[in-house]
Amino acid sequence: MKIFIDTAELTEIKEAYSWGIVDGVTTNPSLIKKAVDARDEIHLEEYIEEILRTVDGPVSLEVIGLRAEEMIEEGVFLYERFNPVNDNVVVKIPINTRTKDGQSKKYDGLKAIKKLSSAGIPVNTTLIMKPEQALLAAKAGAAYVSPFAGRIDDYIRSNVGLVRGEDYDKGAHHDPSLMDEAIVLAKRPFEDGLFGETLEEIYSDERLKDLRSSARDEGIRSGAEAVRSIKNIFDNYDFDTEVLAASMRNSRQVREVAEAGAEVATLPFTVIEEMLGHYKTEKGILAFSEDVVPEYKGIFEG
């Protein structure tokens, strides 16, 4: 699996790239704002150019327009302006948009993907929240689709009343098996015949249906499961589109999307660091260091 780093912070990109494990970069307006706000003075175009030169792999730059014609124009501009720097620009297009006046533009994302990809500009379709969206993006010609695994997890947890920051931290792993266990416990009244006594009554009970569906998003139990579903669909029909797992919150989630077969995962710097750490590894290296005998140390000192 390829690893992209999800940041516009140049120091993080350079540091992670020096480890030999970074294959690309994903940015978005929020990440660029965070990087820019951390500096008193910055020439943004030169800053983006330096990011492109740092990594010998795809770098996603996102449009800001919300209508098809705007996204197409901006996508062409980003590609023509920055791709000559290192021939590695990918244009990020949202799967659908909504204007500030609340008007939905559901199809504009697809129109932009089709137009840009037909012109030879690689597109990373962002804000994918369900497999059906990924299928349409692939049909339109996207080079990558980015399912937001962490946000999918957040949405599922919110469906059952959990609040991020109160009931769980942003980096906490979502375990759908625990959710299923909670549903089993919540179903105990069935044993007392409160919701029906026959299998048919239980199966058709609307309260039970609501209970089941609340722990899923259209049948999807987690962000990692959404990634697996998308990968299965693409394999079924031999799409060239790569699954780029995004909105990754912790190292266990990275492992799950790798097991699901995602071609790429884009990771915040902190998640990459978390992947490296383990208590027993740190304890073991301390023990090894303490056990070095003078004679063995002398080998390296000549």
Higher pLDDT, 131 or 209: 131
pLDDT at 207 over 80: no
pLDDT at site 147: 98
What integer best gives the mean pLDDT of the chain?
90
Low-confidence winner among 78-82, 213-217, 238-242, 278-282 (lowest mean pLDDT): 213-217
Query: In 3D, which of 296, 42, 301, 6 has the Cα closest to residue 149?
Result: 6
pLDDT at 118 over 60: yes
pLDDT at site 268: 97
pLDDT at 95 over 70: yes
Q: One-letter amino acid identity for 199? A: L
145 touches 243 (CB < 8 A): yes
Low-confidence winner among 82-96, 124-138, 185-199 (lowest mean pLDDT): 185-199
pLDDT at site 212: 74
Catalytic residue status for 92: yes
pLDDT at 104 over 90: no
Catalytic option among 14, 34, 92, 170: 92
Helices (H), the chain: 10-18, 29-37, 44-54, 68-86, 108-118, 131-140, 149-159, 176-186, 188-191, 199-204, 206-214, 223-237, 251-259, 269-276, 279-290, 294-301
Note the pLDDT tens digit of each residue in 225-262.
Answer: 999 999 999 999 999 999 999 999 999 999 999 999 99
DSSP state of 164: B
**Predicted TM-score (pTM) of this structure:** 0.89
